[in-house]
Structure 1
Amino acid sequence: MRVVRHWDDPSAPPSPMAFARLFGSDARRRLEHVSLLNATCLSGVTLLLLGGAWLPPQGSTAKENSLALGVATLGLAVFSAGFLAQLSIGFFGRPRVFLPRPFRDVKPDVPAAPTPVLRVEGDMAEISVRRDEADSYAQLRRYKVYVDGERVGDLRPGETCRRTVSPGTHTVQVKISWCSSPPLSVGVSEGERQELVCRAVPGVESDPVAMFTRRQALLILRRA
């Protein structure tokens, strides 16, 4: 059971998702962007297990802990609410409030038009890096943009950083804390502007160990 990580990058590594085969491609794309509901389900399961661990074993003469029962019941309710909301978004696309604005009206795939080569005045070139406005990871923090190892700007969701460079091949990378994207080599000719887009790997919001297990590939940087 797999779902493609990016809308327009079918070669990206697949991300596992429960019950993926029950949904069509449009529904899978919607579910890919509701990490809040994934976190809700995981929180519910955590509370359910925590409350269950406090309850006395079956047949025990120990007094039942009402607080533990309440925690377990709350966990079951939270998990059920998150799971039902995921099913609703998968089959019906609602409630839309859980979807980022750009993905509330998902339409079928259409072939992407070739990206025109943008021109820059003079004998220099330009590299432009935009942070995807739908990126829900660490929204209150900025990604640091590096060109040839030099920090050239910071990005919040929807923001763009531009850097004038000499014609040739340059290495671009985005970082946050000790995590980063793989370095991307970008070739630009005289007067050309290369546009890139970055974001976190979808689903890392609900993966508490991603900052350690995916330290050098937590962020994605690709051509727009």
Structure 2
Amino acid sequence: MINIQREASWSDKFRSYKVIVNEEEVGTIRQKETFQYPLKPGIHTLYLKIDWCRSEKFEFEIKEDETLNFQCGGLNGYQAFINLWYITFGRNKYLWMKQI
């Protein structure tokens, strides 16, 4: 199982992120929500997407009865002031995600 917690960010406050597992959309996550998704044991890829922008792809292995926790969010602080760069050249880093 994976758990994804989304932090608050003003840049995408009213929008959902698509959750992509193994290149398939499996759900959405809104600001300050937690998304849970059961996975079979093995190697998987995970990323988040909004419009043509996304997070970096995260590859991980999950074992039987294991739960992995992630945090995610959008642009904050100084990044919001250079969002033109993030929606063009940095579009694969527009969203962030890390394992906790």
**TM-score for the superposition, normalised by structure 2:** 0.88
Identity %: 29
CA drift at 1:189 = 0.7
CA drift at 1:208 = 4.1
- Out of 67, 73, 96, which is 1:193 matched to? 67
* SS state at 1:137 partner: helix
Answer whether contact 1:137 1:204 (CA < 8 A) is retained.
no
- Out of 54, 77, 81, which is 1:206 matched to? 81
| Structure 2: distance between partners of 1:156 and 1:205 | 19
- Out of 173, 190, 194, which is 2:47 matched to? 173
Note the residue ranges of structure 2 that are not aligned, 5 or more in a row.
Answer: none
Alignment of 1:1-224 (within 5 A): 126-132=1-7, 134-202=8-76, 203-209=78-84, 210-224=86-100
Instruction: Map Cα deviations across residues 129-187 of structure 1 (whole Å, 9 max, x no partner).
Output: 1211x322210111111111111111111111111111111100001110001100121
Which structure features the higher share of strand residues?
Answer: 2
Answer whether contact 1:181 1:220 (CA < 8 A) is retained.
yes
| Structure 1: distance between partners of 2:83 and 2:53 | 14
Which structure features the higher share of helix residues?
Answer: 1
* SS state at 2:91 partner: coil
- One-letter amino acid matched to 2:74: A
| Structure 2: distance between partners of 1:208 and 1:220 | 14
Note the residue ranges of structure 1 that are not aligned, 5 or more in a row.
Answer: 1-125
* SS state at 1:146 partner: strand
- One-letter amino acid matched to 2:80: E
Larger RCO, structure (CA 8 Å, separation 6 or more): 2
